[in-house]
């Protein structure tokens, strides 16, 4: 059976970076996460294994948890492999599949999660930098939508900011194709998109930018209204010109 350590040895140019702590196995984690370096670039290896699931305390939950997490990781690999390269989307580097483990390695530039970045730069980040981050987010989402993919879990800890300020969308375990019907979700209703909570088909017309424009214009759109990402990006560019 191929283990995380065995996989690292197989790709002998990759070495585990001990200075970055591994995520602890828990029922709240999608998978075990192991930071790696290769040719001076940072990577993250996600692993779902029976050993990982056995660490859970709830016996009745283990079988369901394994199937769910394997399914999510395989879905993430499938989605990442079909997305054309884009500066605002994480890239997959390699994958391994065995009878007991599912391993995926995704490219991860040096940087930090958006939530930590915003906390660290609170009171220091300029309006122009904020607009650049928003543009990166919407350009990444537009690229996904152009290729018929809906992320479904856009939040601050599923976005990273590299050292050069480039924003990248990560974690595609919950992503679907345009028009797919959502039958289940691993997140709670407080974090789920409205269409996930309602368990109905999710279309690209369910646009993430609508609420932002409602706030800016103090106007509530009809539920059937669709605000295109092109309009949002145009607004961002106009704001950038004014900064």
Give the pair of three-digit tokens for residue 8. 């690292």
Give the model's confidence band at 3: pLDDT under 50 very low, under 70 low, under 90 confident, else very high.
Answer: low
CATH class of the structural domain 4-107: alpha beta
pLDDT at 214: 47
Specify the higher pLDDT residue, 112 or 234.
Answer: 112
C-beta separation of 72 from 174 below 8 A: yes
Q: 178-209: per-residue pLDDT in tens? A: 766 554 444 444 444 544 444 445 555 544 55
Specify the higher pLDDT residue, 204 or 102.
Answer: 102
CB neighbour list of residue 220: distance below 8 Å, 6 or more residues apart: 214
pLDDT at 119: 86
On the question of pLDDT at 19 being above 50, the answer is: no
Q: 41-80: per-residue pLDDT in tens? A: 777 888 877 666 666 666 666 667 777 888 888 899 999 9
Torsion, CA 101, CA 105, CA 108, CA 110, rounded to 10: 80
pLDDT at 240: 74
In this prediction, residues 109-136 reach a mean pLDDT of 85
pTM: 0.71
pLDDT at 166: 92
Alpha-helical regions (H) of the chain: 4-10, 50-54, 59-82, 114-120, 127-146, 194-198, 210-217, 229-242
Give the pair of three-digit tokens for residue 83. 């997305």
| Residue 93 DSSP label | E
Of 13, 1, 8, 55, the residue nearest 32 (C-alpha): 55
Specify the higher pLDDT residue, 38 or 75.
Answer: 75
With b for 16 or more beta-carbon neighbours within 10 A and e for fewer, the 110-138 pattern comes to ebebbeebeeeeeeeeeeeebbbbbbbbb
Q: In 3-state terms, what secondary structure has residue 35?
A: strand
Topology annotation, domain 111-242? Transferase(Phosphotransferase); domain 1 (1.10.510)
In this prediction, residues 108-120 reach a mean pLDDT of 82
On the question of pLDDT at 89 being above 90, the answer is: yes
Environment class of 72 (CB within 10 Å of its CB; exposed 0-12, middle 13-18, buried 19+) = buried
**What percent of the chain is modeled with pLDDT above 90?**
12
Spatial distance between the Cα atoms of 173 and 28, rounded to a whole number of angstroms: 14
Residues 234, 237, 242, CA angle at the centre, nearest 5°?
Answer: 130
**What percent of the chain is modeled with pLDDT above 70?**
58
In this prediction, residues 12-16 reach a mean pLDDT of 46
C-beta separation of 103 from 2 below 8 A: yes
pLDDT at 85: 94
Domain-wise residue ranges, the chain: 4-107, 111-242
């Amino acid at each position: 059976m191929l283990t995380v350590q065995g996989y690292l040895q197989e790709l002998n140019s990759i070495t585990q970076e001990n200075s970055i702590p591994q995520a602890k196995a828990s029922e709240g984690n999608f998978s075990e996460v192991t930071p790696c370096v290769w040719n001076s670039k940072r990577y993250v290896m996600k692993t779902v294994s029976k050993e990982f699931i056995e660490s859970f305390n709830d016996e009745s939950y283990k079988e369901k948890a394994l199937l769910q997490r394997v399914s999510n990781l395989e879905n993430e690999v499938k989605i990442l492999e079909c997305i054309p390269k884009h500066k605002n989307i994480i890239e997959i580097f390699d994958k391994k599949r065995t009878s007991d483990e599912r391993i995926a390695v995704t490219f991860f530039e040096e940087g930090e999660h958006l939530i930590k970045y915003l906390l660290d730069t609170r009171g220091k980040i300029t309006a122009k930098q904020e607009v650049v981050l928003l543009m990166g987010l919407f350009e990444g989402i537009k690229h996904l939508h152009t290729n018929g993919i809906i992320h479904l879990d856009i939040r601050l800890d599923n976005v990273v900011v590299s050292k050069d300020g480039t924003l990248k969308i990560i974690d595609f375990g919950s992503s679907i194709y345009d028009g797919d019907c959502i039958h289940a979700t691993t997140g709670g209703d407080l974090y789920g998109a409205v269409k996930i909570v309602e368990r109905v088909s999710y279309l690209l017309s369910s646009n993430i930018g609508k609420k932002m424009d409602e706030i800016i214009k103090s106007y509530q759109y009809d539920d059937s209204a669709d605000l295109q990402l092109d309009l949002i990006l145009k607004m961002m560019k106009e704001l950038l010109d004014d900064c």
